[in-house]
Amino acid sequence: MAKTFYISTPLYYVNDVPHIGHTYTTVAADVMARYQRAKGRKVHFLTGTDEHGQKVFRKATERGLTPQVHVDELVQRFQKLWERLDCTHDDFIRTTEKRHTDVVQEVLRELFERGDIYKESYAGWYSTSAERFWTEKDVLVAEDGTKLCPDTQQPVEWLEETNYWFRMSKYADKLRTWTAENADWIRPETRKNELMGTLKKDIADLCITRPKERLPWGIPVPWDSDYVTYVWFDALLNYITAIGYRRDDERFAACWPADFQLIGKDILTTHTVYWGTMLLALGLDPADCIYAHGWWTVEGRKMSKSVGNVVDPNLLVDAYGADSVRYVLMAEKSFGGDGDFSHKGFQLRYNADLANVMGNLLHRGVAMSEKWLGGVVAPLGVITNAESELQAEISELTSAYDTHLNALAYNSALESLVNIGKAGNKYLDSEKPWALNKAGDQARLATVMRHTLEVCRVVGVLLAPFCPNKSQELLGRLGISAPTLQDLGELSGLQQGASLTHGDPLFPRMDELPATIAAALETAAAAAGPLKSLGSSGAAKAEKKAKKSKSSTKAEPTFETISFEDFAKVEIRVVQVLSAAQHPDADRLLVLQVNAGEETPRTIVAGIASKYSPEELVGKKLLGVLNLAPRKLRGVMSQGMLLAASGSKGILSMASTLVDVAPGSRIS
Ligand code: ME8
């Protein structure tokens, strides 16, 4: 049976609001899936959502919903977005589906029975943000001594727990050999080098469960109901459970190994070291190629909910249309490298490639044929050097497009496509059909217009994987209903005499940003504005006020302003006091255990003993700064700071919220 071309995206965390990062990977996979289908390959394109884990459970609880109801609702945001972006995935898998969970349990049992999974107690640095343990040598140490998760750069905490472990170390050598022998397994080269660095170090065993009492929302370990599998061991297996592993051997054999597994560079280790060893343990080969693409920033900054610069792809589709979004994302940066998204950049790219080159060529070709040749596809006529040269150039660019696209060099493929459009425009400029018309040379005029339209056809066909709707419209205007990649290099594929349709510009120039985008940018600027725009005039006003106050009886406090971005960095959350005790070595201090909405309680040491007794604080919901670097206060490590109103005589009141809200709620 012929091998099915199998391409996958990561399973996105269902809790996250889909943004241009997710869109980028899924559109890249879709472009490739469409291109392979156009080449006649049978394709399986898989995407989906990762639906288990602590964060999902916590969010569902906050909303007063069961986790399943919560994820059933949230998954639609991804499903609807992919529909709006015309993504043609053949399957959308959710890790909560039975077809997945059943097979995960089967795999777990098999690995356990053969000794590749074992139970052991462990103490290590636990990262709540990455939901995984790290060893002492893995963790990063901040300047102030705080230990940080190497993946998320968030603080880690010391945790001791009994869990099940996968013997990843046992398969490390096999993975090293696999990496050495399969040059294309990890791409691009930078990521491969990164992996080689990781593989030079010892590979430890992998903790693959969490106690159910700490993480109730996961796939139960089949032989021990006190445990559930940990997110990665569950989620990674989707790539094979979705294609019939242990359920449909024929289908599985046709698809696996995957041709491409597309991921972002953030999840390289999990997809190489974890996933690679898991597959080797199951006696399966890793994918042919895992491509870890680069990272998008937005308007020069890391995308972040707290900064408020997360770009909603729905807004982009509303304003620019799905095809333009797909095109610009794929054209704006090299696949392996990082790139910055800006609306100005979007407009420039759209105008430069789509409006000025491809749209313009089509407009010229059809308008001139209408004006001088009755609005039909003219005969090829007598070929001169100009057509032979054009033919050679188009053939070369078409094959460059193919080479680039096969190598996932999307932006280079599009560069070749734009160059095809440019070659068509250049040909038209140099052959001057207006002069031929004036001179009454109808035969030569027909040849030139026909060849111009032939270039439009090539543009239309090669645009299809990126801009499926515009491509269809373009080709429809040339009288083509079933485009094909066959004979693309030949400038003779149109039907002589077919009617041409002029219509509105295919890619109208965008001289101004769409109103909705301009409004969204204004709102974002206003949100960040008041503090930022204080700038010099605000500072001058504050200074004036300060000077004035010197002469008055009571000085008004003056403040040094901070930027909105600085404020956004502070994580203030509602914390509930679980227990409180006097500090063993300081009368002034209390040592509190608080629930901050995380998996384990935090210890906070606070200088509030003069105002509050330990007993009266238990159960109270207070406000705490959680991302202050942990520090020792008289020998006890404090993982945050409580907020309180204070006056000249010390603490007046602890700060809290007006109504009862859940621990972990963010104050912003
Ligand atoms: O990691 N630039 O899911 P996730 C480019 N559930 N791509 C980006 C991006 C950015 N700024 N931000 C996100 C998970 N992505 C796990 C995966 S797989 C079995 C489990 C894209 O929702 C990129 O593809 O955090 C990245 O790898 C992925 O979204 C992470 O998605």
Name the DSSP letter for residue 63.
T
pLDDT at 519 over 90: no
Contact 439, 9 (CB under 8 A): no
Confidence of residue 300 (pLDDT cuts 50, 70, 90): confident
Confidence of residue 411 (pLDDT cuts 50, 70, 90): very high
Q: Is the CB of 267 under 6 A from ligand 1?
A: yes
Rounded mean pLDDT, 132-138: 85
Confidence of residue 9 (pLDDT cuts 50, 70, 90): very high
Q: Whose CA is nearest to atom 19 of ligand 1?
A: 236
- Most confident among 134-148, 203-217, 343-357 (mean pLDDT): 343-357
Rounded mean pLDDT, 336-362: 96
pLDDT at 356 over 90: yes
* Ligand 1: centre distance to CA 54 (Å): 18
Is the model more confident about 467 or about 633? 467
Q: Is the CB of 152 under 6 A from ligand 1?
A: no
Q: Is the CB of 13 under 6 A from ligand 1?
A: yes
Q: Is the CB of 233 under 6 A from ligand 1?
A: no
465: cis peptide before it, omega within 30°? no
243: left (phi over 0), alpha (psi -120 to 50) or beta: alpha
How high is the mean pLDDT of the chain?
A: 90
pLDDT at 656 over 80: yes
Rounded mean pLDDT, 95-109: 98
pLDDT at 668 over 90: no
Rounded to 5°, angle at Cα 274 from 273 and 276:
65
| pLDDT score, position 649 | 61
Q: Is the CB of 296 under 6 A from ligand 1?
A: yes
Rounded mean pLDDT, 352-362: 98
| pLDDT score, position 548 | 37
Q: In the beta sheet, which residues pair with residue 221? A: 224
* Ligand 1: centre distance to CA 11 (Å): 8
Q: Which of 95-104, 494-503, 610-619 has the lowest mean pLDDT?
A: 610-619
| pLDDT score, position 538 | 32
| pLDDT score, position 611 | 84
Q: Whose CA is nearest to atom 10 of ligand 1?
A: 21
| pLDDT score, position 100 | 98
| pLDDT score, position 459 | 98
Rounded mean pLDDT, 36-65: 96
Index of the ligand 1 atom closest to the CA of residue 275: 19
Confidence of residue 75 (pLDDT cuts 50, 70, 90): very high
Q: Is the CB of 340 under 6 A from ligand 1?
A: no
Count CA atoms closer than 13 A to 177's CA, side-chain side: 5
CA–CA gap between residue 534 and residue 541 (Å, rounded): 9
Q: Whose CA is nearest to atom 20 of ligand 1?
A: 11
As a dihedral over the C-alpha atoms of residue 121, residue 126, residue 130, residue 135, rounded to 10 degrees, the angle is -80
Q: Is the CB of 232 under 6 A from ligand 1?
A: no
Confidence of residue 80 (pLDDT cuts 50, 70, 90): very high
Confidence of residue 416 (pLDDT cuts 50, 70, 90): very high
CA–CA gap between residue 296 and residue 309 (Å, rounded): 12
CA–CA distances in Å: residue 441 to residues 430, 433, 438, 500: 16, 9, 8, 21
CA–CA distances in Å: residue 374 to residues 93, 432, 504: 52, 18, 18
Q: Whose CA is nearest to atom 16 of ligand 1?
A: 12
As a dihedral over the C-alpha atoms of residue 452, residue 454, residue 456, residue 459, rounded to 10 degrees, the angle is -130
Q: What is the pLDDT of residues 44-55, one digit of tens each?
A: 999 999 999 988
Q: Is the CB of 50 under 6 A from ligand 1?
A: yes
Three-class SS of residue 221? Answer: strand
Confidence of residue 547 (pLDDT cuts 50, 70, 90): very low
CA–CA gap between residue 38 and residue 523 (Å, rounded): 43
What is the total residue count of the chain? 668
Confidence of residue 236 (pLDDT cuts 50, 70, 90): very high
pLDDT at 528 over 80: no
Mutate to test the pocket of ligand 1, among 14, 16, 17, 22 (most ligand atoms within 8 A of CB): 22
Confidence of residue 527 (pLDDT cuts 50, 70, 90): low
Q: Whose CA is nearest to atom 14 of ligand 1?
A: 12
If one counts every other C-beta atom within 10 angstroms of the C-beta of residue 327, the result is 27
pTM score > 0.85 for this model? no
What number of helices (H) and strands (E) belong to the chain?
A: 24, 28
Q: What is the pLDDT of residues 154-204, one digit of tens each?
A: 999 998 999 999 999 999 999 999 999 999 999 999 999 999 999 999 999
